[in-house]
A = this chain, B = another copy of it.
């Protein structure tokens, strides 16, 4: 299990990251989630990841829920238990209904299977789908 550093024990650079995240969520820095408590030992990795995820997940041409579903889909394909827990929660919080969740799971399941079938039968890419 990770060596987790609580907010009060973090170095200044790590504290600054946590404060920025907590402020954006209107939450107490002491309640920051575990990934940040683990990353706190390596401020440069932590700063890089927090900046990148902040930019990637903010609504733009794609809305916030769609982005969560994409994040969750990748996490399931990679079988990341920590990330599945967090991003299933986030997706629900951003509006994923039980019906959406069920359809999402059906897509993930068939996509994963389709990936393996394409590999198993060694299917060559369709020329008609290549970008010109």
CB-nearest residue of chain B relative to A68?
Answer: B107
Nearest Cβ on chain B to A11's Cβ, whole angstroms: 11
Whether a CB of chain B sits under 8 angstroms from the CB of A80 is: yes
CB-nearest residue of chain B relative to A31?
Answer: B128
Nearest Cβ on chain B to A101's Cβ, whole angstroms: 7
How many copies of the polypeptide does the oligomer hold? 6
CB pair B107–A70 under 8 Å, yes or no, is yes
Residues in chain B near residue A105, CB distance under 8 A: 42, 45, 117, 120
Interface string of A101-132 (1 = CB under 8 A from B): 11111111111111111111111111011110
Whether a CB of chain B sits under 8 angstroms from the CB of A23 is: no
Sample of 18 A–B contacts (CB below 8 Å): A1-B122, A2-B123, A3-B131, A33-B126, A34-B126, A35-B117, A42-B98, A44-B102, A45-B106, A62-B103, A73-B73, A74-B111, A76-B120, A77-B77, A77-B78, A78-B115, A83-B115, A85-B126
